[in-house]
């Protein structure tokens, strides 16, 4: 018959740390973008793709542009210049678009 040992341990959590559930952590992560717009650089960093990829796969695809363009109520303010320097992305709605269209974008 195998032996079993029951042990109790105490872990001290420093005052400047908290333990939260994964669900709470994810909620806090989603809130960190509240109140600010993403730049092209933010989008590149968030999705690990260069702006040229976004232009080819998403931003200049006519059916996506129609949905995304802020002139149509979308989450992307398209820059007047093609280099993306003055583009703005509303984080929550752009993330939702990316999630909803993931398979088509990456297909």
- Averaged pLDDT score across all residues of the chain: 89
27-77 pLDDT tens trace: 877 777 667 899 999 999 999 999 999 999 999 999 999 999 999 999 999
**How big is the chain, counted in residues?**
107
Considering the entire predicted model, what is its pTM?
A: 0.69
Matching residue, tokens 């080819």:
56
The band of 9, judged by pLDDT with boundaries at 50, 70 and 90, is: very high
pLDDT at 26 (0 to 100): 80
Q: What is the per-residue pLDDT for 83? A: 63
60 domain-assigned: yes
Q: What is the pLDDT of residue 86?
A: 83
- Within a 13 Å sphere around the CA of 5, how many CA atoms are in the beta-carbon half? 3
Residue 48, domain member (yes or no) = yes
From residue 68, alpha-carbon distances to 8, 28, 50 in Å are 55, 25, 18
Task: Indicate the number of domains in the chain.
Answer: 1
8 Å CB contact between 11 and 19: no
Confirm whether 17 is domain-assigned: no
Half-sphere exposure of 44 (CA within 13 A, CB side): 11
Residue 67's domain comprises: 36-105
Q: What is the pLDDT of residue 30?
A: 72
What is the reported pLDDT for 82? 67
């Amino acid at each position: 018959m195998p032996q079993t040992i029951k042990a109790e341990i105490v872990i001290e959590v420093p005052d400047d740390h908290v333990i939260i559930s994964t669900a709470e952590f994810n909620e806090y992560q989603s809130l960190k973008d509240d109140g600010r717009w993403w730049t092209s650089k933010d989008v590149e960093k968030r999705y690990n793709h260069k702006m040229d990829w976004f232009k080819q796969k998403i931003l200049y695809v006519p059916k996506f542009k129609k949905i995304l363009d802020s002139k149509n109520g979308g989450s992307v303010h398209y820059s007047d210049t093609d280099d993306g320097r003055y583009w703005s992305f509303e984080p929550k709605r752009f993330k939702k678009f990316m999630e909803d269209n993931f398979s088509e974008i990456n297909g």
